[in-house]
């Protein structure tokens, strides 16, 4: 099956720029698509110094929906937003004061990749972090989801004049130019062995949960520290529900996939309650499955239910999971072609959007304007 490769290089323009992220693209672009992907053929999408997080999300979402293996190469810098102190990938217009609105939340990457199989989804990263983000990473790691293997490094800002080099990613690209992609853990180790000691930073390998794990979570790691965390990568088992559901979706058996997810959702509700994270996880899976099945009405309604459940449980209106649920409900609502169905769901979306404005400026006004048009339609 053809693979998909997403090459993302991003960093702020101006004084906040820590790394020459775009400098790695010419080297990566010289690698054959099939080698970047590790498949016979592959499609490659390049995003160089993107301006808008929504534009990146659109490309990421399309890549995540591809049926074959997916490898995402990310070069850039991590910053925290001032409100929630959550990690973001800084984009061209990002400043410390505007991270929340101009950078890509890292949890968006996790959310878009969460329904994919660990067997065919990987992140290769070369990231730099400012002082605040570096403290966060050393304490919490970088959560990329349970179904994603993560390879690469995160390095602290050096404090020196001039931009840092994405030495790890350039070394990976140089190795791939040989025309062969070894298993990613072997490729990672080869890159580690080749880059200079002073540029190694904090080198990472995924643990079984898809986290980028710092060497010493209790204390900052110096720029010269080098260790590789080598926990085994997750291998989908026949009883792995996510792998089985992904396989059913890829085969076009959407009703079967939803049936499996519904059973796990019911078990979680019985065991933990309808507002538990265990149950809400499967509710979110079913909302995504409706999207894959081409049923935006069911998907929108499911995401609205998730958002309302989280809000009723006392979660903050700007909590990432709440914002994500409302944003996805809004996105699916715009895909509904049946005027009557869109008109039916519009008021509920407008009500929850009033409480959860989200990060996209004008989202509430957009819903109200479209709802007015629908209500005026015959």
Q: What's the distance, Cα to Cα, between the start and end of the chain in Å?
A: 46
Per-residue pLDDT of the chain (378 residues; tens, 9 = 90+): 788 999 999 999 888 888 888 888 888 888 999 999 888 888 888 888 889 998 898 899 889 888 788 999 999 999 999 888 899 999 999 999 999 889 999 988 988 888 787 778 889 999 999 889 988 888 888 888 777 888 888 888 876 677 888 889 999 999 999 888 888 888 988 888 888 765 555 555 433 334 443 333 222 333 322 233 333 333 333 457 887 888 888 888 888 889 899 999 999 888 888 889 889 999 999 999 999 899 999 999 999 999 999 999 999 998 888 998 999 999 899 999 998 899 899 899 999 999 998 877 788 888 888 888 888 877
**Residue 105 bridge partners (DSSP):** 88
Tell me which residue has tokens 């350039």.
170
Q: Which residues of 241-259 are buried (b: 16+ CB within 10 A; e: fewer)?
A: ebbbbbbbbbeeebeebbe
SS3 39: coil
Q: What is the pLDDT of residue 197?
A: 62
Q: Residue 226 — left, alpha, or beta (φ > 0 → left; ψ -120 to 50 → alpha)? A: beta
Q: Any idea which residue has 């190694």 for tokens?
A: 200
For the record, the structure tokens of 191 come out as: 């890159």
Considering only CA atoms, which of 45, 24, 22 is closest in space to residue 33?
Answer: 45
In degrees to the nearest 10, what's the CA dihedral of 293, 294, 297, 299?
50
- Residues 283/113/363/47 CA torsion (nearest 10 deg): -170
Q: Which CA distances in Å does 328 have to 29, 61, 182, 232, 264? A: 32, 11, 37, 33, 22
d(CA 218, CA 199): 22
């Amino acid at each position: 099956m053809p693979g998909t490769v997403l090459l993302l290089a991003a960093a702020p323009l101006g004084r906040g720029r820590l790394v020459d992220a775009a400098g790695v693209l010419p080297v990566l672009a010289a690698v054959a698509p099939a080698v970047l992907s590790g498949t016979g053929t592959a499609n490659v999408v390049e995003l160089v110094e993107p301006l808008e997080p929504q534009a990146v999300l659109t490309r990421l979402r399309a890549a995540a929906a591809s049926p074959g293996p997916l490898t995402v190469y990310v070069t850039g810098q991590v910053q925290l937003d001032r409100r929630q102190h959550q990690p973001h990938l800084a984009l061209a217009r990002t400043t410390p004061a505007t991270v929340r609105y101009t950078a890509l939340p890292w949890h968006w990457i996790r959310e878009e990749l969460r329904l994919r199989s660990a067997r065919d989804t990987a992140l290769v990263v070369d990231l730099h972090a400012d002082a605040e983000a570096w403290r966060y990473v050393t304490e919490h790691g970088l959560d990329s989801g349970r179904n994603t293997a993560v390879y690469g490094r995160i390095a602290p800002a050096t404090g020196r004049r001039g931009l840092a080099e994405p030495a790890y990613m350039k070394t990976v690209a140089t190795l791939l130019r040989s025309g062969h992609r070894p298993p990613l853990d072997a490729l990672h180790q080869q890159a580690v062995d080749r880059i200079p000691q002073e540029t190694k930073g904090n080198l990472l390998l995924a643990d079984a949960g898809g986290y980028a794990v710092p060497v010493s979570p209790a204390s900052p790691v110096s720029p010269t520290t080098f260790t590789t965390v080598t926990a085994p990568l997750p291998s989908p088992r026949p009883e792995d529900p996510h792998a089985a559901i992904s396989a059913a979706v890829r085969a076009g058996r959407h009703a079967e996939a939803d049936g499996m997810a519904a059973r796990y959702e019911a078990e979680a509700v019985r065991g933990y309650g309808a507002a538990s994270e265990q149950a809400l996880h499967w509710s979110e899976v079913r909302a995504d499955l409706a999207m894959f099945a081409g049923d935006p009405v069911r998907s929108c309604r499911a995401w609205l239910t998730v958002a309302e459940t989280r809000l009723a449980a006392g979660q903050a209106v700007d909590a990432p999971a709440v914002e994500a649920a409302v944003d996805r409900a809004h996105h699916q609502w715009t895909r509904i072609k049946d005027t009557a169905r869109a008109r039916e769901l519009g008021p509920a979306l407008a009500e929850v959007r009033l409480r959860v404005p989200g990060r996209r400026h004008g989202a509430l006004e957009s819903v109200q304007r479209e709802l007015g048009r629908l209500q005026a339609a015959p």
